[in-house]
Amino acid sequence: MPLSHSLVALLVTAIWGLSFVVIKLGVGTMPPLLLAALRFLFAAFPAVFFVARPKTDWRNVVAYGFFLGVAQFGLLFAAISLGMPASLASVVMQAQVFFTILFAALAMGERPGPHQVIGGVVASAGLVLIAWPRMTGGGAVPFLMTVLAAAAWGVANIVSKRAGRVDMLGFIVWSSLVAPLPLFGLSLLLDGPAQVFDALKNIDGHTLAAVAYLAYPTTIFAFGIWAYLLSRHPAATVTPFALFVPVAGILGSALILGEAMHPIEAIGGAVIVLGLAFNVFGRRLLRRTA
């Protein structure tokens, strides 16, 4: 992958890492599924009136909007609202790397190279180090919800690859139309009409700022660039860059939210970065040692 594409991929992961902090702040003032609905509503409007519909099968647009908007972010926002720390969520969501590589191998015949397999194994060890202490008590449910959200992200990545080389801005904008109504309906069902409409009536500037950050740089820009990269490079090459998301997520959570970064989290984060580094540079290293 060209250096310019690698640098853009790192920028995307920084934006995504900080988005976990914004989500944590947002669900503190608004029901999580309602916040997710507003995120995709603002991502779709008014851009849908100015961006051409992508030239791909409409089923790709609907599937991407469902798996990314309703499944991935519905589960993630709810998990964080139930107590999943933003820093840990930013780490666990990177299981999407392994789900994507697995789904790409099963559905599209892409086979990762030896260096990518080794990098994935190393990075997964880092995820286990961070996640294992949390798998007891009440933390298990939001943790498992976050893992399911990562799996949904993996499916969305494969859908974007199947869509082919389409206008990715249009793809993101039009697929964002899919999510608001189901998420709003689920929020009405689970939170109750009174809580939903009270949250809408009392929305403040901080919540609007959170929605704007999640809708524009995080959704339209970052996912548009991510889908663009996936349409031009193998999934096993692109998706491991997302392992930098926890670095931004943990640092942002510590500085902004005051979440403590435990020593095991620091060690696990370092192992994840090591796995990503081997995934990116391992091919050259293996050639030199061959």
pLDDT tens-place string over residues 225-262 = 887 888 788 877 787 787 778 788 888 998 899 987 67
Q: Residue 98: what pLDDT?
A: 77
Tokens describing residue 259: 């979440």
CA atoms of 64 and 159, how far apart (whole Å): 6
Give per-residue burial for 22-48: e unless 16+ CB within 10 Å, then b: bbbbbbeebbbbbbbbbbbbbbbeebe
Tokens describing residue 17: 């890492």
Per-residue confidence band for 218, with pLDDT thresholds at 50, 70 and 90: very high
H or E element, residue 20? helix 3-26
Contact predicate 253/90, CB 8 Å? yes
Tally: H helices and E strands in the chain: 16, 0
Return the higher-pLDDT residue of 200 and 278.
Answer: 200
Burial of 2 (0-12, 13-18, 19+ CB in 10 A): exposed
For the chain, the domain total comes to 1
Strand, coil or helix: 54: coil
Res 68 pLDDT > 90: yes
pTM reported for the whole predicted model: 0.86
Give per-residue burial for 98-128: e unless 16+ CB within 10 Å, then b: bbbbbbbeeeeebebeebbebbbebbbebbe
Res 173 pLDDT > 90: yes
Res 136 pLDDT > 70: no
Q: Residue 113: what pLDDT?
A: 79
How many CB atoms neighbour CB 52 within 10 A? 11
Per-residue confidence band for 73, with pLDDT thresholds at 50, 70 and 90: very high
Per-residue confidence band for 181, with pLDDT thresholds at 50, 70 and 90: very high
Domain that holds residue 92: 3-289
How many CB atoms neighbour CB 56 within 10 A? 20
Average pLDDT over residues 179-206: 95
What single-letter DSSP state applies at residue 111?
-
Q: Residue 99: what pLDDT?
A: 85
Average pLDDT over residues 67-96: 91
Pick the range with the lowest mean pLDDT from 19-33, 64-78, 133-147, 159-173. Answer: 133-147
Q: Residue 138: what pLDDT?
A: 67
Strand, coil or helix: 45: coil
